[in-house]
Amino acid sequence: MATQTVSAEPVSLDPSRRARLAEFWYYFSENRGAVIGLAVFLILVALAILAPVIAPHAPNAQYRDAVLLPPFWAEGGRAAYALGTDAVGRDMLSRLLYGARFSLFIGIVVTTLALTGGIVVGVIAGYVGGWIDTAIMRVMDIILAFPSLLLALVLVAVLGPGLTNAMIAIALVLQPHFVRLTRAAVMSEKNREYVVAARVAGAGPMRLMFRTILPNCMAPLIVQATLSFSNAILDAAALGFLGMGAQPPTPEWGTMLAEAREFILRAWWVVTFPGLAILITVLAINLMGDGLRDALDPKLKRS
Amino acid sequence: MLRFLLKRLAVLIPTFIGVSVIAFSFIRMLPGDPVALLSGERVMSPERHAQISHQLGFDRPIVIQYLDYLWGILRGDFGTSIANKSSVLDQFFQLFPATLELSLCAILIAIILGIPAGIFAAIKRGSFFDQTIMGAALVGYSMPIFWWGLLLIILFSGILQWTPVSGRISLMFFFPSVTGFMLIDSLLSGQQGAFKSAASHLILPAIVLATIPLAVIARQTRSAMLEVLSEDYVRTARAKGLSPFRVVGIHALRNAMIPVITTIGLQVGVLMAGAILTETIFSWPGIGKWMVDSVFKRDYPVIQGGLLIIAGIIMLVNLAVDLLYGLINPRIRH
């Protein structure tokens, strides 16, 4: 059985997968905002990867002769510091470029943690059912009873401030959404004929749960994953802003905003640019999420 | 309806117990000795340690400690602040009106602007107006509100000098607190300019806190309206020759509002999380800032108590929304 599937896969699945991808792209590209979001996101990824190459200065290098310089187009600005410098003479542009690495890294790690945790727990709850399901869902209700940022803040207070702990806390807070979605999808799939057929053919519970059922539940999870990605970036920046996330001098955007707070009425650029970077990143991901939902949600499909 | 209520309560009570277990274990999960953390004394002799440990009940079995904690909560004892030795519940009641006033203003702004915006976007689907509104809603939804607050301070407090930067009212006014709502109290005081001062302090934080709920409500109203507008009974109403205002305002709106009301109810959690950031930026003396300050001061009993109270409020509001939902939509009860 197992060998048969493996040998059959490359031949039979490839064309259909390509067709599915083409269909997906057809619907996704109909949404202009989603395509713009994807383009911006790809640019951000490129900037983050290339940060060491394109950044004009080291992110933590302090230039004593260039403290709180405005951007180059404003009076007193210098071309060497295109977006100005902060209160200790660090180049804003370089810090923002390195900050993109942190934000995208946070998004990836948190979403991966929340998604894998949520899927495993959700599949078990939906597939096994009974008291295990009830117990799991009650625990998720408990997590959801707290405002996410408050719970993350308190968790970081327990674990100690820092980026790693902030990511763990945010992943824990976002995870119940994945559990609920997975469970609901698994419950609606598990009595379908193809699952029964696989069971009759002798598939064990692990194979049924993760190979047979799970791939058919992915659409809502992918949409939720993009939402989590942007939420993770926002929450991590908020924790950084509150002094509980990444610690100075890390060029994380929220932490940069926290350091800039006392200069808001004197140097608008130290406040404006890090926040703008967060907004653009989150907006691009949310635009993509809207497009993904349109392309993956069968209810909205017009065909 | 009674069965529906009992069913909701059957879910709510175990959840609340779970929430209390989390709040209870929070202090015991902290790195370090909880006795030292709670007493606020860094150096103490073993005798003193044993004495405080006994006072706090830490020498008893953990289950008894929890039951004792739960019993205390039921009697309204949420612990005592380390920082100023006052009761957590008293502090909460002192600060809550400020957060409530801010949140109510924010949700009012969000509803008053969000619902009409969503309705018009749905009626004029695909138009320039629709695209602008939905674009703005997506920006609002993606907004890091702590940054948005700072931008508004730069513009309105820094450049234009229209509004003050922080607090609830100018220090030159002093009057007794009657309702705890600064807008109402300042009016009751009869002092000239007091109301204006209170309103100018409130407006920026309220806008900041309203941003995300406004975006969510506008998006939800639009999609609910779109769904309803394609229903048969709306077509029937149109075919009967009713005015567009009647069709949209009476026939469609009533049914479209059902999911919107749920959405508004769900914003309570969003508002509480937003209050943490908004109150910190504007030095607004409410429970959001109280929680952040307590985290920094390591005032663990306050964090523990506040966590439980806030979760309790959210659960009660969600229950109220569920019941309201059951009232206006009988299908849900079964």
Burial class of residue B223 in the structure, from the number of CB atoms within 10 Å of its CB (0-12 exposed, 13-18 middle, 19+ buried): middle
Q: What CA–CA distance (Å, rounded) separates A143 from B263? A: 19
What is the per-residue pLDDT for B298? 83
Task: Give B250's DSSP letter.
Answer: I
Q: What CA–CA distance (Å, rounded) separates B214 from B107? A: 8
CA A86 to each of CA A95, A250, A281, A303, B61: distance values in angstroms, whole numbers, following the listed order? 10, 14, 22, 54, 54
A132 found inside a domain: yes
The answer to whether the CB atoms of A241 and B154 lie below 8 A apart is: no
- Per-residue pLDDT of B41-89, as tens digits, reads 767 788 888 887 787 777 788 888 888 888 988 888 888 888 888 899 9
What is the per-residue pLDDT for A216? 83
What is the per-residue pLDDT for A11? 46
Burial class of residue A35 in the structure, from the number of CB atoms within 10 Å of its CB (0-12 exposed, 13-18 middle, 19+ buried): middle
Give the residue among B142, B149, B270 at the shortest CA–CA distance from B206: B149
Q: Which of A153, A254, A287 sits opposite B276 (nearest CB)?
A: A153
Please give the share of chain B, as a percent, with pLDDT higher than 70: 98
* Count of CB atoms situated within 10 Å of the CB of A194: 11
Q: B19 CB near a chain A CB, below 8 Å? A: yes
A62 by DSSP, 3-state: which? coil
Same-domain status, B246 and B309? yes
Residue A145: pLDDT above 70?
yes
Domain extent, residue A34, equals 29-300
The answer to whether the CB atoms of B269 and A148 lie below 8 A apart is: yes
The answer to whether the CB atoms of A141 and B30 lie below 8 A apart is: no
- Per-residue pLDDT of B189-233, as tens digits, reads 878 888 888 889 999 999 999 999 999 999 999 999 998 888 888
The answer to whether the CB atoms of B150 and A257 lie below 8 A apart is: yes
What is the per-residue pLDDT for A123? 93
Q: Which residues of A touch B19 (CB under 8 A)?
A: 142, 145-146
Q: Which residues of A touch B22 (CB under 8 A)?
A: 142
Q: What CA–CA distance (Å, rounded) separates B111 from B207? A: 12
Q: Which of B16, B144, B314 sits opposite A234 (nearest CB)?
A: B144
Element (H, E) at A21: helix A2-30
A281 pLDDT tier (thresholds 50, 70, 90): very high
B80 by DSSP, 3-state: which? strand
* Average pLDDT taken over every residue of chain B: 87
Please give the share of chain B, as a percent, with pLDDT higher than 90: 37
B334 pLDDT tier (thresholds 50, 70, 90): low
A275 found inside a domain: yes
B61 found inside a domain: yes
Q: In Å, how far is B193's CA from the nearest CA of chain A?
A: 26
CA B7 to each of CA A87, B1, B199, B326: distance values in angstroms, whole numbers, following the listed order? 58, 10, 43, 12
Average pLDDT rounded to a whole number, residues A14-31:
81
CA B331 to each of CA B226, B229, B263, B325, B328: distance values in angstroms, whole numbers, following the listed order? 21, 20, 18, 10, 9
The answer to whether the CB atoms of A150 and B26 lie below 8 A apart is: no
The answer to whether the CB atoms of A139 and B18 lie below 8 A apart is: yes
B200 found inside a domain: no
A10 pLDDT tier (thresholds 50, 70, 90): very low
A20 found inside a domain: no
Supply the CATH number for residue B240's domain.
1.10.3720.10
Query: Strand pairing partners for B80?
Result: B87
Residue B117: pLDDT above 70?
yes
Q: What CA–CA distance (Å, rounded) separates A90 from B118? A: 44
B191 found inside a domain: no
What is the per-residue pLDDT for A208? 87
Q: Which of A32, A143, A146 to mutate to probe the B interface, most B CBs <10 Å? A: A146
Contact B26, B304 (CB under 8 A): yes
B300 pLDDT tier (thresholds 50, 70, 90): confident
The answer to whether the CB atoms of A242 and B272 lie below 8 A apart is: no
Q: A40 CB near a chain B CB, below 8 Å? A: no
Higher pLDDT, B45 or A240: A240
A21 found inside a domain: no
Q: Which of B11, B147, B293, B302 to mutate to probe the A interface, most A CBs <10 Å? A: B147
Q: What CA–CA distance (Å, rounded) separates A171 from B287? A: 25
Average pLDDT rounded to a whole number, residues B266-288:
91
The answer to whether the CB atoms of A286 and B280 lie below 8 A apart is: no
Give the residue among A243, A267, A277 at the shortest CA–CA distance from A89: A267
- What interface predicted TM-score (ipTM) does this complex get? 0.88
Q: In Å, how far is A37's CA from the nearest CA of chain B?
A: 12
Q: What CA–CA distance (Å, rounded) separates B43 from B111? A: 54
Query: Strand pairing partners for B87?
Result: B80
* Average pLDDT taken over every residue of chain A: 87
- With b for 16 or more beta-carbon neighbours within 10 A and e for fewer, the A66-94 pattern comes to bebbbbeeeeebeeebebbbbeebbbbbb
Please give the share of chain A, as a percent, with pLDDT higher than 70: 93
Same-domain status, B100 and B48? no
Residue A37: pLDDT above 60?
yes
Q: Which of A106, A136, A149, A302 to mutate to probe the B interface, most B CBs <10 Å? A: A149
B317 found inside a domain: yes
Same-domain status, B61 and B137? no
A9 found inside a domain: no
B202 by DSSP, 3-state: which? helix
Same-domain status, B48 and B147? no
Q: Which of A138, A154, A242 sits opposite B307 (nearest CB)?
A: A154
Contact A29, A288 (CB under 8 A): no
Same-domain status, B297 and B225? yes
Q: Report residue B215 as tokens.
A: 């975006």
B229 found inside a domain: yes
Q: What CA–CA distance (Å, rounded) separates A99 from A112? A: 20
- Per-residue pLDDT of A58-93, as tens digits, reads 998 888 888 888 898 888 888 888 898 888 889 999
Global pTM reads 0.89
- Return the minimum-mean-pLDDT range out of A27-36, B99-108, B270-279: A27-36
Q: Which residues of B touch A243 (CB under 8 A)?
A: 296
Please, what is the angle between helix B2-29 and helix B62-74, to 10°?
A: 130
Domain extent, residue B316, equals 95-159+205-333
The answer to whether the CB atoms of B148 and A275 lie below 8 A apart is: yes
Q: In Å, how far is B188's CA from the nearest CA of chain A?
A: 34
Residue A8: pLDDT above 90?
no
Give the residue among B261, B130, B184, B288 at the shortest CA–CA distance from A242: B288
Same-domain status, B46 and B104? no
What is the per-residue pLDDT for B243? 82
Q: B92 CB near a chain A CB, below 8 Å? A: no
* Number of domains composing chain A: 1
Q: In Å, how far is A50's CA from the nearest CA of chain B?
A: 25
Same-domain status, B73 and B148? no
Alpha helices in A129-147 (DSSP H): 130-144
* Number of domains composing chain B: 2
- Per-residue pLDDT of A166-221, as tens digits, reads 999 999 999 999 999 999 989 888 888 999 899 899 888 888 888 888 888 888 89
Q: Which residues of A touch B144 (CB under 8 A)?
A: 234, 237-238, 241, 254, 275, 278-279, 282
A241 pLDDT tier (thresholds 50, 70, 90): very high
Residue B167: pLDDT above 90?
no
The answer to whether the CB atoms of A142 and B143 lie below 8 A apart is: no
The answer to whether the CB atoms of A149 and B277 lie below 8 A apart is: yes
Which chain A residue's Cα is nearest to B160? Answer: A265
Residue B285: pLDDT above 80?
yes
